[in-house]
Amino acid sequence: MNIVFDFGAVLFTWQPAELVRRHFPHLTPTAQAAEDLARSLFHHEDWQGFDRGDHALDEAVARIAARLSLPGDALHDLLAPIGERLAPIDATVALLARLRERRDAAGDLRLYYLSNMPAPYARVLEQRHEFIGWFDGGIFSGDVQLAKPQAEIYRLLESRHGLEPARTVFIDDMQANVEAARGLGWQAIHCTQPERLGAQLQALLPQWMPAMGMAGSRR
């Protein structure tokens, strides 16, 4: 069995509305205003091209600043250190540790990641977090010029690591990415509450999870 993790909002915290609220408080007087600005910033080709590695951070900053009439220096200060600001989600790291123990003991499980992540942030995470070395492999979007929910990035992970779709479970916080995986024959979990992910895995794979004591992972 293969279990494939997304990173943002699954393994690492990702709160874009809170991020823009802290950096542009005068533009985000309400929670809705913060949500709207975050959506305009991150759900656009200006950002997504950086995510895929099609252009560098400086170009992304220039494009976004011009489009949204934001000060370039402040925008750079928001975006440049995101890799350092992404904090591990304790519940998911604990789950990953238990899955790693199962893999090492039984040899019937493999762990991978598939993350939309600009290459500069990916390098920071690899340097800062030892548990990324627990994975058997994975793909960051910024390294391959592809991004979820493009089918090609899922197929690339399959081909690199010999994954059988029916024996692969994908975990992501974005419904579109989950549906893309299912459309390719993968099993998938839409993770909106990382503290419940262990229970979701147990429900999907009851023959695998009881031996790991996952029933007690609910909060």
Residues 156 and 52 in one domain: no
- Report whether 73 contacts 23 (CB < 8 A): no
Among 35, 50, 85, residue at a domain's last position: 85
SS3 188: strand
Query: Dihedrals φ, ψ of 170, to 5°?
Result: -110, 135
Q: Give the per-residue pLDDT at 211.
A: 52
Provide the phi-psi class of 213: left if phi over 0, else alpha when psi is between -120 and 50, else beta: left
Neighbours of 152 (CB within 10 A): 10
Same domain (yes/no): 75, 98:
no
Alpha-carbon gap, residue 76 to 9, rounded angstroms = 22
Residues 118 and 144 in one domain: yes
Token reading at 14: 């990702």
**In the numeric block, which tokens belong to residue 210?**
């009881």
- Rounded distance between C-alpha atoms, residue 104 and residue 153, angstroms: 27
| Ranges of residues in the chain whose predicted pLDDT is under 70 | 208-219
Residue recorded with tokens 């419904």:
175
Specify whether the CB–CB gap between 57 and 51 falls below 8 A: no
- CATH number, domain of 100, equals 3.40.50.1000
Residue 16, CB-side half-sphere exposure with 13 Å CA sphere: 16
**Structural domain harbouring 9:** 2-13+87-217
Task: Please give the model's pTM, rounded to 2 decimal places.
Answer: 0.93
In single-letter form, the type of residue at position 202 comes to Q
Residues sharing a CB contact under 8 Å with residue 150, sequence separation 6 or more, in sequence order? 180
What pLDDT, on a 0 to 100 scale, did the predictor assign at position 189?
98
Same domain, 134 and 196: yes
Tell whether 163 and 79 lie within a shared domain.
Answer: no
Give pLDDT, residue 94: 96
Q: Do 120 and 55 lie in a common domain?
A: no
The pLDDT of residue 135 is 98
If one counts every other C-beta atom within 10 angstroms of the C-beta of residue 37, the result is: 21
- Give the count of beta carbons closer than 10 Å to the beta carbon of residue 155: 14
pLDDT for the residue 207: 76
| Paired tokens of 33 | 């205003």
Q: What is the pLDDT of residues 187-208, one digit of tens each?
A: 999 999 999 999 999 999 887 6
CB distance 18 to 36 below 8 Å:
no
Q: pLDDT value at position 215?
A: 41
